A = this chain, B = another copy of it.
Amino acid sequence: MSLLAINRYSGEAVYSQIAHRLQDEIQKSHTAGNYLPAEHVLAERFNVNRHTVRRAVDELIQCGLVERIHGKGTRVLDAPVDYTLGQVTRFTEQMEAGGSAATKILRKLVIPARGGVAQRLAVQEETPVIWFETLRSVDEHPYCLISHFLPLARFPELMNQFSSGSLHALINQCYQVQLRRVESLVTAILPQGDDASLLNMSQHQPVLRVKSINIDTKNNNPCEYALTRFRADRIQLRINP
């Protein structure tokens, strides 16, 4: 319970003061999964109208701190998960800490390499390339969408072999290829195409886009080009030099 009351003459809007107060309290007692008190309770506590509380909570939602669930309440969300960009990608292992991670395969195609894909895989234009589209989730909450591109000639049976689980583990097992990340290019964009709906997020909130190249550690040939879109409100990338 806060000691300081709302100051109606401070120049700062009441809803804004309440938003900051709630934000502080959420971060101090980082109770992810908990529910905020009901709106009418908060209204009584701060001595304001319920609509004013709603306006404050709107701010928290915009920040990605909480989510409203109709009929249930307003739930505190997990803080963005740190995702370390290292040499070896271990998506599943990194994310599994909290809950049950899952990878869903959305598309499996063979396409002719063009432009950036051909260039990054160091193959001729029109060379057949495997394209996997995967969606990763924790506890049914999607957090990233990955387009994987791999030269078909190098992994001739991968199209049939890959049906679930970790792609890199499968490659390691079936082809004795150890992958190492050599470069990542990170930027932020608004979600394109179906990405927003697949990630179950707003079209107007940004995603982190990471282009990465993985090479075969044995011969340093590029084997995979991956284009990952992270929900930026759920993920932050940790980079250690």
Listed stretches A83-91, A131-139, A140-148; interface member: A83-91
Binary flags per residue of A71-97, CB closer than 8 Å to B gives 1, else 0: 000000000101101110010100110
Contacts of A86 in B (CB 8 A): 241
Task: Report the separation of the CA atoms of residues A27 and B203 in the bound assembly, to the nearest whole angstrom.
Answer: 18
Contacts of A203 in B (CB 8 A): 63
Residue of B nearest to A96 (CB): B241
Instruction: Count identical subunits in the complex.
Output: 2
Task: Report the separation of the CA atoms of residues A27 and B241 in the bound assembly, to the nearest whole angstrom.
Answer: 32
Residue from B82, B92, B189 within 8 A of A83 (CB atoms) = B189
- Given A188-B232, A189-B83, A232-B188, A240:B208 Cβ within 8 A: no
- Given A85-B239, A95-B239, A96-B241, A186:B208 Cβ within 8 A: yes
Contacts of A206 in B (CB 8 A): 188-190, 206, 232
Total interface residues on A, using CB and 8 Å? 42
Say whether B64 contacts A204, CB under 8 Å.
Answer: yes
- Determine the main DSSP class of A at the interface with B: mixed
- For the complex, is A236 an interface residue (Cβ under 8 Å from B)? yes
Binary flags per residue of A3-21, CB closer than 8 Å to B gives 1, else 0: 0000000000000000000
- For the complex, is A34 an interface residue (Cβ under 8 Å from B)? no
- For the complex, is A69 an interface residue (Cβ under 8 Å from B)? no
Say whether A185 contacts B85, CB under 8 Å.
Answer: no
Say whether A236 contacts B183, CB under 8 Å.
Answer: no
Contacts of A63 in B (CB 8 A): 203-204
Say whether B187 contacts A80, CB under 8 Å.
Answer: yes
- For the complex, is A178 an interface residue (Cβ under 8 Å from B)? no
Residue of B nearest to A95 (CB): B239
Q: Which of A88-126 contact B (CB under 8 A)?
A: 90, 92, 95-96, 115
Q: List 19 A-B contacts (CB under 8 A).
A: A63-B203, A64-B204, A80-B187, A83-B189, A87-B241, A95-B241, A183-B238, A183-B240, A184-B240, A184-B241, A185-B236, A186-B208, A186-B236, A187-B237, A188-B188, A188-B206, A188-B207, A206-B206, A208-B208
Q: Give the 3 A-B CB pairs with smallest separation, nearest first.
A: A206-B206, A188-B188, A188-B232
